[in-house]
Amino acid sequence: MHAYRLIRWMAEARSFALGLLWLMAILVLGTATEKTQGLYAAQRVYFSSYIIWLGGLIPLPGLLTTVAFIFTSLVCKLALERWRMKHLGTIIIHIGAAVLLLGGFLTACFSREGSMLIPPGESRNYLEDYQHVELAVTPLGGAQPEIIFTEAQLNAGSKLNNLAIPFAIDPVTWCRNCGLERLPQPVTEGNPHGVAINFIFKSLPHDPVEEQNRAGLTFRLLGAGQSDGLYAVFQDMPIPEIVMAGGKKYLLALRPVRASLPFAIQLLHFQEDLYPGTDKPRAYQSDVLVNDHGLLWHSLISMNEPLRYHGYTFYQSSFLQSDGEQTATVLAVVKNNGRLFPYIAGVIIAAGLLIHLAQRLGRRCAL
């Protein structure tokens, strides 16, 4: 009996309105947070969370919980609805809304996104994550696979081993966003190498623009004989750190987490069109060649005209340039399984609105 009463309560417009109020509060807070802490922080704390910890102490329902509440309320309403022709329009609108929320939920859970940075003429078959970084140890010469250490492992600070490599990595300092600071005098103790000789890392506050954060790691290399000692690596290092151990060379790099694509994309040509006589861009476009295990497919990606291939969408996000020369195109990549839901929901809601309108007009005419 209690359960039925709960469902009755959930089905009321009142509970829906309550949920909406809280949703609006989250929306306003989250949007304000985007300014101060960046889009990803806002998403993590507000928009893709079940629980918001206010001040780290008080638990409040997060956006996903709130949307789930609203969705339940919608379903309860539909379940208890007395299906009358008079309400047909409104009922259909509410079904459409439920479909929309369901699609949003699926997207939130199962979509993947990342970016690709491709210099002209080159080919890439992986996505790079916007937020997280990893330490990759790549054996040079030969086709041995890379060894990856995740951000969590680096953060934990304990010694990192892998059977495939003859040395261990012992993190000393780790910062997600660091500044490089030159030392007045070179370090002499602990057998420093490369960057670690003249520089130390200084931890900087997290930048709201995720791509602006430059991760850095200093570590001790153990078990590599001659090459043992103190090392430092940071993201996008101009000269990569190469270590000699057991007669082989290994490249150590801190880079955005990679996720492989089932096909490769080659950039043939990048073009930026300006409005005549100005510096204002009119259009950007990347001429690309998809290589899907030998199947070649030519395509043009431009603003508002993405490439869709095997469930992935590639759109023109930006480009890198130095000295007026374009050095790479930046494509944003999304794979979204719930993609069709908003379209279906849109059609249902539109149909509901039309029926509702027609019914109201019909009633007025009848009077």
Partner 1 sequence: MKCLVAFLLTLFIWQSAWAEQNHLDTHIFAELPVQHNGRIKPMDSFARFYLRTFSGDAVVDGMTADDWLADLIFTPERAYGRAVFDVNNPNLRLALDLPERARHHYSFLEIAAAMEAHQEMVNSILSAQEKNVTDPAQQQLISLYANMTAFLDISRSLSLVLPVFRVEDAALARQIGVPAGQNFSYLEMMRRRAQYLSLAQSVLKYAGNHPDARQVVLLQIGAQLEHMEADKQSQILRIVPPAWQPDGNSWLSPWAMLNTGQGAPQSAALLQAWTRMAQAYQENNATEWKYAGENIFQQTLSLAGGQIRPYALSAEYMYNHAYLFAVSLAFYLAAFLLLLGARRYRAFYYVSFALLVCGFLSHFVGEALRIYIMARPPVGTLYESIIFVGLIVVAGSLLLEMRSRRGLGLAIGALSGFALQAIGMGFAGGDTMEPLVAVLNTNFWLATHVIAITTGYGCCLLTGILGHIYLLQKILQPLHHERLQITSRLMLGAALAALFFALTGTMLGGIWADQSWGRFWGWDPKENGALLIVLWLLWMLHGRLSGMLRANGFAMAAAAAVIVVALSWFGVNLLNVGLHSYGFTSGIAINLFAFIALEMIFITTCGVILYRRSRHP
Instruction: Verify binding: residue 65, partner 1, rule CB under 8 A.
Output: no
185, 188, 304, 322: which one binds partner 1 (CB under 8 A): 304
- Rounded-to-integer distance, Cα 123 and Cα 38, Å: 31
Q: Which is nearer to partner 1, 29 or 180 (CB)?
A: 29
Q: 16 to each of 68, 77, 98, 202, 225, how far by Cα in Å?
A: 11, 10, 12, 49, 67
Instruction: Verify binding: residue 314, partner 1, rule CB under 8 A.
Output: yes
- Rounded-to-integer distance, Cα 43 and Cα 30, Å: 8
Shortest distance (Å) from residue 325 CB to partner 1:
17
At 72 the three-state DSSP class reads helix
Q: Which is nearer to partner 1, 23 or 187 (CB)?
A: 23
Shortest distance (Å) from residue 282 CB to partner 1:
6
Q: Which is nearer to partner 1, 164 or 340 (CB)?
A: 340
Shortest distance (Å) from residue 228 CB to partner 1:
46
- Rounded-to-integer distance, Cα 235 and Cα 130, Å: 13
Instruction: Verify binding: residue 31, partner 1, rule CB under 8 A.
Output: yes
Instruction: Verify binding: residue 9, partner 1, rule CB under 8 A.
Output: no
Span 71-110, contacts to partner 1 by CB under 8 A: 103-104, 107
6, 346, 354, 361: which one binds partner 1 (CB under 8 A): 346
Give the residue carrying structure tokens 């509702």: 356
Instruction: Verify binding: residue 162, partner 1, rule CB under 8 A.
Output: no
Shortest distance (Å) from residue 17 CB to partner 1:
5
Give the binding-site size for partner 1 (rule: CB under 8 A).
Answer: 55
Q: 274 to each of 172, 282, 283, 350, how far by Cα in Å?
A: 48, 5, 7, 39
Which residues, in sequence order, are bridge partners of residue 150? 134
Instruction: Verify binding: residue 113, partner 1, rule CB under 8 A.
Output: yes
Shortest distance (Å) from residue 34 CB to partner 1:
6
Contact 312, 261 (CB under 8 A): yes
- Rounded-to-integer distance, Cα 33 and Cα 38, Å: 7
Complete DSSP assignment for 136-199: EEEESSS-PPPEEEEHHHHHH-S-B--TTSS-EEEEEEEESSEEEEE-SS---TT-B-THHHHE
Span 43-62, contacts to partner 1 by CB under 8 A: 43, 47
Instruction: Verify binding: residue 282, partner 1, rule CB under 8 A.
Output: yes
Give the count of beta carbons closer than 10 Å to the beta carbon of residue 22: 16
Shortest distance (Å) from residue 155 CB to partner 1:
26
At 333 the three-state DSSP class reads strand
State the residues that interact with partner 1 by CB under 8 A. 12-14, 16-17, 20-21, 23-24, 27-28, 30-32, 34-35, 39, 42-43, 47, 103-104, 107, 111, 113, 208, 274-278, 280-284, 303-306, 308, 312-315, 332-334, 336, 339, 342-343, 346, 349, 353
